[in-house]
Amino acid sequence: MGVPADPAALAGTGLLSAEGLARIAAEESLPAAPLTEDCSVGAYLGARFGREAVDRLVEPMLGGVYAGRADGLSLRATLPRIAALAERGGPLLPALRRMRAAGAPRPAAGAVRGVAGGTGRFPKAVARACGARILTGTTARSLQRLPGDRWRVRAVTDDGPLTVDADAVVLALPAFAAAELLRAHAPRAEAELSAIPHASTAVVTMAFSRSRAHRLPEGNGFLVPAVDGHVLKAASFLSTKWSWMHEAAPDTFVLRASIGRIGEEELLGRPDRHLVRTAVAELHRAVGPMGEPLAARVTRWDRGLPQYGVGHAERVARIRGAVARLPSLALCGAAYEGVGVAACVATGLAAARQVLTPAPAPAAPAPAAA
């Protein structure tokens, strides 16, 4: 997540000033008492490595993954391995070097993995394999508890209202949507879920002609610091990143530009054509003149990324504790233990096991004393 482990490797890259590099190297000599409570990523790493390192190295990674800010995101929730080192006390640089030396070999370049044909194939394959009835265009509006630890879900569809009675319910929803359904059944969980802020983002996907482009960038993409007034926060060169995409359209270069961090809702309210023009202009500044895209599409994700603020892990524990009192109901999704696909899959598996595991039978009363 951009935390520097080897200051010497940054020399000559132009990412940091000489003063910034010296500040990172000085981290080993700084006293470091064990961290006893959660704090923001920016507060802790800024004190250890200096603000320039946070702004130029850590902030772009956090912006790309969480669409958040280093000063607002929890160290324990977003950088748990760094937080674990901080809780032991002592400088980070020696601990990071020991961690790297003891860990597995570093992956080769281009070790990013995905689903051939696009990640959109994954949910479709799951739906086919499980044989479930999948209802799209359907929004759950309320939950009602039924006898026998069952639930009634009332929903609306394009064809009108729908009622479903279920043996168990998993709320795989954004925090604010789960909060609405839990209001009558777990007020504490509803309050905590409602308090999780969310960032909105937009993705501008563009296709360029390889033969007409003045030049094409190399690598998998780039991240952008939030300190220089840029609109883009990241760009991913899909045709380079995924071999299947290049094979499917060898004459076309496809890339994806990401826009939007927490607090930038006004920016995302601009028309699609404005976001496309801004993305093209900033791409040209970053990688050189590429020409005009053959096609472009803007995909908006309103409140798509939950923000893991300071104390997030404790908040999730309170939410799960409140929901645990509700039989045959579980939560999963990006609002809890990670926003990535793998983390969401893990919470989904845990929720499925929870609702499929029979509740323990009540203990038999102890025999009366003679």
Average pLDDT for 112-121:
83
Residue of higher predicted confidence among 98 and 257: 257
Query: Which band of pLDDT confidence, cut at 50, 70 and 90, is reported for residue 368?
Result: low
The reply to whether 337 falls in a domain is: yes
pLDDT (0 to 100) of residue 218: 86
Mean pLDDT of the chain: 90
Q: How many domains does the chain have?
A: 3
Domain check: are 192 and 234 in the same one? no
For residues 50 and 52, what is the distance between their CA atoms, to the nearest angstrom? 6
Average pLDDT for 109-126:
79
Domain check: are 87 and 168 in the same one? no
Final residue of a structural domain among 73, 102, 131: 102
Query: Which band of pLDDT confidence, cut at 50, 70 and 90, is reported for residue 370?
Result: very low
pLDDT (0 to 100) of residue 132: 87
Average pLDDT for 12-25:
90
Average pLDDT for 106-120:
70
pLDDT of residue 107 exceeding 80: no
Q: CATH number of the domain that 22 lies in?
A: 1.10.3110.10
For residues 176 and 302, what is the distance between their CA atoms, to the nearest angstrom? 12
Residue of higher predicted confidence among 329 and 116: 329
Q: Is the dihedral of CA 243, 248, 254, 259 positive or negative?
A: negative
Question: In one letter, which amino acid is 15?
Answer: L
Q: Any idea which of 181-185, 222-226, 228-232, 303-307 has the lowest mean pLDDT?
A: 228-232
* Number of residues that this document lists for the chain: 370
pTM over 0.85: yes
The reply to whether 268 falls in a domain is: yes
> Percentage of residues in the chain with pLDDT exceeding 70?
94
- Residue range of the domain that includes 315: 121-196+308-356
The reply to whether 80 falls in a domain is: yes
Condensed to tens digits (0 to 9), the pLDDT of residues 146-167 reads: 999 999 999 999 999 999 999 9
Average pLDDT for 267-289:
93
pLDDT (0 to 100) of residue 2: 75
Going by their DSSP bridges, the two strands 295-306 and 138-146 should be labelled as unpaired
Q: CATH number of the domain that 230 lies in?
A: 3.90.660.20
Average pLDDT for 248-269:
92
Beta-strand runs (E) in the chain: 138-146, 150-157, 160-166, 169-172, 198-209, 221-223, 232-236, 252-259, 295-306, 329-332
pLDDT (0 to 100) of residue 153: 97
Domain check: are 96 and 11 in the same one? yes
Domain check: are 226 and 260 in the same one? yes
Condensed to tens digits (0 to 9), the pLDDT of residues 311-358 reads: 999 999 999 999 999 999 999 999 999 998 889 999 999 999 999 987
pLDDT (0 to 100) of residue 92: 92
Domain check: are 291 and 223 in the same one? yes
Domain check: are 287 and 256 in the same one? yes
What are the tokens at 324? 């645990």
